[in-house]
Amino acid sequence: MTEKTEIYQTEDGALQISVMMDQESVWLSQAQMVSLLGRDKSVISRHINHVFKEGELEKQAVVAKFATTAADGKTYQVDYYHLDVIISVGYRVKSQQGTRFRQWATKTLKQHLLQGYTINQQRFDKNAKELEQALALINKALISSDISADTGKGLAEIVSRYTQTFLWLQRYDEGLLEEPNGQNGGELLTHVQAMQALNELKAQLIARGEATELFALPRGDGLSSLLGNLEQTVFGEPAYPTIESKAAHLLYFVVKNHPFSDGNKRSGAFLFVDFLHQNKRLFNENGQVVINDTGCTHLVSGRI
């Protein structure tokens, strides 16, 4: 990974930390977390272990080795921890300094991303301009009397409809996807309610020969755990504050964590749609979709 360092300093200047950065996150060693959060090494070590033991984060995804020069002048490979770990441990030890560090890291990462993706943005803008020009021609053709056949118009509508979706996906791939606004709140189903809804779906699928008894069969307490994760707070604030962010992560966690023996993708998609419906974010009062195809692409690919 491409590495650089930034200096984090407290307002009173009493603490300075050389923070390792890449294009996606900031990283601290355990010793740096001890200094930042003001807790003993044993306390920080215990909470780090709990983060992995409880399945909150996958160790291989959030731990990396960086070459570090020690006081004796020798260079060692030291474990560094991703911002997600720092936030989780900071939450567990209730550190106000951890909150300020998170705010600093978010701001610094945003600046770093904007600077690092300048060339990619120029390439994206060029591709997007060419695609949007093609879209303009398609829209012009739609209103032309030369295309009157239903099949011709249907083809043009399909291309037109999904062009914007392609633009969102490319923007996501380039790291330029901005976080959309959402509606705060959202009431999640309890584990019992979720399983009741899934069992009703299961019965319908089995009746049509499209599923077996293994469909949506729970594996341990995986579903209960991920529903609990969606309700958690970080430094006193909801980790997933909007209906849209809860919906996106509900789908993501079900597909990623496999809480069921079979049918995780279908179960996740069902719970995603059902959650939006229960919270009146699927259709508006006129029966029109609140989040269209473009919005869903943006929402799920970004997991806001």
Q: How far apart are CA 270 and CA 252, in angstroms?
A: 12
Q: How far apart are CA 82 and CA 188, in angstroms?
A: 28
pLDDT at 297: 47
Amino acid at 182: G
**CA-to-CA dists, residue 67 to 20, 33, 45, 100, 184, angstroms:** 11, 17, 20, 27, 42
pLDDT at 214: 92
**CA-to-CA dists, residue 125 to 141, 162, 165, 176, angstroms:** 24, 18, 15, 11
Q: How far apart are CA 189 and CA 227, in angstroms?
A: 8
Give the mean pLDDT per block of 10 residues along the chain (304 residues). Answer: 73 84 82 92 93 88 82 82 89 85 81 53 61 64 57 56 59 56 85 94 92 92 89 79 86 88 90 88 67 50 43
pTM: 0.46
pLDDT at 122: 58
Indicate the DSSP class of residue 292: -
Residue 177, C-beta contacts closer than 8 angstroms, at least 6 positions apart: 168, 171, 298, 301, 302
CA dihedral of residues 196, 201, 204, 206 (deg, nearest 10): -90
**What are the start-end ranges of the H helices in 143-280?**
150-173, 191-207, 222-230, 243-257, 264-278
pLDDT at 301: 46
Closest among 200, 204, 132, 122 to 167, alpha carbons compared: 132
- CB 74 within 8 Å of CB 67: no
pLDDT at 39: 92
Indicate the DSSP class of residue 287: S
- State how beta strands 233-234 and 75-82 pair: unpaired
